[in-house]
Amino acid sequence: MSPPSSPAASRLLSVIVVAADSGPALRECIRNVLDWPLRLELLVLDNASNDGVPQAAARAWAHDPRLQVIYNRENLGFGTAVNRGAAQSSGDVLLVLNPDCMLAAPGATRLLEVLDSDTDIGLVGAVTCNAQGKPDPASWRRDPLFRRAVASMLGLARAGVNITRPLPDHPVDAEAVSGALMLLPRRVFERVGGFDPGYFLHCEDLDLCRRVRDTGLRVVLAADVHVLHAKGGSSAHRPIFVSRHKHRGMWRWFRKFDPAARNPLLAGLVWLGIWAHFALQLPILFARKLLRRPGGNRHGEPGRGQ
C-alpha cells in the first residue's frame, strides 16, 4: 500500500507515560522527551505515587506547556491509566512510553517514519535493551499460545513464544512487541477501544497487539531502533503484587484468545499451571521483598515495602 500523504513530523505527537513510584527515572524520561525536536505534548499519569517525583517534575517544568501531569487518586493499573491519558490528549499519534525508557530523538523520529511508511501499519514497537545493550526477548514475540508455551518449556526455542533468531537491522512484522514503547495512530487506538482495563499490569501489551492485528493492520518492530530500558523501576519494591497481576494477565489473555481455552479440561490444567508457577515463585519474591525493607538490604540502601 502507498504511504499516507502527510508526514508524521507535521502531526502532534502525544507521549503518554504512566508513573507509579518510578523514582528519578521519571524525571530523566521527562527531560529526554521534552528535548526531542518534535511537535509534541507529554502527559504523565501518576498512579498515586508516594515518592513525590511527579509533583517535583510538575514544578520543575511548570513553564513548559507541553507537560501535563495528571494525578490519579489510586493506582488504576497501567492500561486504564494510558486510556485516561489518551482521552485527555490531543495528538493524532500516541506514543506509550515507560518512565524507565530512554528513547533518543533520532529513534523517536525513526519510529514516526516507520509508522508513516505504509497505511496498513497499525502499531510500531522498538528493541528495548538493558544497560549493556542486550535486547530484551520481549521486544519481539509471538502470541503466547498454550502450544508455544509448552514448546518453550521443552526447550524448542523455534516454536516458542520469544523469537530467538538474530534481530535484523530493518523493520519487520511481529505478532507482539514490548509494551514499554508502543507507537500507534489515535484512530487505531480508538478503533480497538484502547487497552483492555481487565488487565491491571502485564499482558495488556500482548492483548493490544493481538486486537490491532485482528483488525487487519500490521504490528511492526522497528528493529533498527534500540532503546535503553532500565526495567522494573516502578515495581522492584513490590514483587509479589507485580507477579500476582502478571499471572492474572496470563490467564485473561489465554481465556480471550487461545483456542485451547475452549477445552474445559485443558483450560483447567492451564489455570492450575499458571497459579502453581506463581506459588513456586513466592519464596523468592518474599526474599526480595525482605531485602528491600529498611535494615534488610545488604548494601545499606533503604528498602521499600510492597
Are 125 and 178 spatial neighbours (Cβ–Cβ below 8 Å)? yes
The domain segmentation of the chain, as residue ranges, is: 8-229, 239-291
CATH architecture of 8-229: Alpha-Beta Complex (3.90)
Residues whose CB falls within 8 Å of the CB of residue 158, separated by 6 or more in sequence, listed in order: 164
What's the count of helices (H) and strands (E) in the chain, helices before strands? 9, 9
Smallest CA-to-CA distance from 229 within 283, 180, 167, 301 is with 180
What string of pLDDT tens digits covers the 306 residues of the chain?
444 444 555 789 999 999 999 999 999 999 999 999 999 999 999 999 999 999 999 999 999 999 999 999 999 999 999 999 999 999 999 999 999 999 999 999 999 999 999 999 999 999 999 989 999 988 999 999 998 888 777 777 676 777 888 899 999 999 999 999 999 999 999 999 999 999 998 999 999 999 999 999 999 999 999 999 986 555 566 788 888 989 999 999 999 999 999 999 999 999 998 989 889 888 887 777 677 665 444 333 322 332
Q: How far apart (Å, rounded) are the C-alpha atoms in residues 75 and 224?
A: 34
Q: How far apart (Å, rounded) are the C-alpha atoms in residues 167 and 178?
A: 14
Report in angstroms the alpha-carbon separations of 145 from 160, 162, 206. Answer: 9, 11, 11
